[in-house]
Amino acid sequence: MSGCAASSSATEPTTSPNGAAHFPVTIENCGTPVTITAAPRRIVLVNNDELPKLQALRAVDRIVGITAPLAPDLYAKQTYRDLAHLHVLSTKQTSTGGSVVSQESLLGAKPDLVIAPANAVDRDALQAAGIPLYTPSAYCTDPGPELSRTATFGRVWSELRTLGTVLGQRALAEDAVQAGRATLSKQSAATDRGTAAALYVSSGGGVLSPYGGPSMVTPVFRAVGLHNVYADSKQRVFDANVEDIISRDPSTIVLLYSSGTAQDTIDSFRTAPGVSGLSAVRHHRVVALRFPFTDPPSTLSVAGPAELARQLDALG
């Protein structure tokens, strides 16, 4: 696991005899030290990527602002109930489905912690307002060399522990790590299923974005017996032309999607120029996997292998 730590590290909070965490704590997040002076009680969540980890850390009830509706059938029923009363903050959507939220919307929610991609908010402005920002490592503007290495599930454990430190929930974080490891250990020994490429399809099928070695696609594939044909890339995600994808000849295409349906995603992909040249398309080996089952590292990444294996089994 030494080569897969996330670009967040933390000084551990001390604990009292009754187990309560003491603050302040300081973490290194995306190359910036972030100090948390007290256990956060009012969290604004930009995008929902960290929601699975907040759920595991029993901190969903601390969320006071969200920027996107919750996708159905991904989270615990209680999570939907806890967040049903929240109004979605005003944002602008990016081309890949992310959110950029205004400073006024953030401040209006009166948070004591913002969890957001680095390019979705103004870290300096938040710091000036006394509000710490935590960015998931996958969304650091400059991820650093450690996040250019091939990903493993160790990134999930690392980020659970860091976020547990931020929230004063170290014990729950460790419980979640052990539960995740147990889930993966129950995965049946993977037989060799050949090669695959994970692609995000945007712009109506006109842009194909493969996920490389540093993405969580790689360990999810490995757990089900697939080899990521872009595992040699040091980029998490990037655009590629269809000729390059054809040259790598993945036997299976896994389409990642964050909205719409699996069939919509597959249909959009089939309209992309040149994809008929892919052997996976000719042999009808194209599946669509909901994006949160892979990236960024979360407890849903741990559930990803079982979900992907189910779809691969259905292909025969």
Computed over every residue of the chain, the mean pLDDT equals 88
Q: For the chain, which residues make up each domain, given as ranges?
A: 8-184, 194-315
pTM: 0.87
pLDDT tier for residue 139 given thresholds of 50, 70 and 90:
confident
pLDDT at 16 over 70: no
CA distance 126 to 295: 26
Phi, psi of 274 (to 5 degrees): 90, -10
| 265 token code pair | 């995603």
- Gap between the Cα atoms of 301 and 17, Å rounded: 34
pLDDT of residue 104: 85
For the segment 62-79, the average pLDDT, to the nearest whole number, is: 94
Percent of the chain at pLDDT above 70? 88
Mean pLDDT, residues 201-229 taken together: 91
What is the pLDDT confidence band of residue 13, given thresholds at 50, 70 and 90? Answer: very low
Please state which CATH class domain 194-315 belongs to. alpha beta
- Do the domains spanning 8-184 and 194-315 agree at the CATH topology level? yes
The fold of the 8-184 domain, in CATH, is Rossmann fold (3.40.50)
Q: Which residues of 87-97 are buried (b: 16+ CB within 10 A; e: fewer)?
A: eebebeeeeee
Percentage, residues of the chain above pLDDT 90: 67
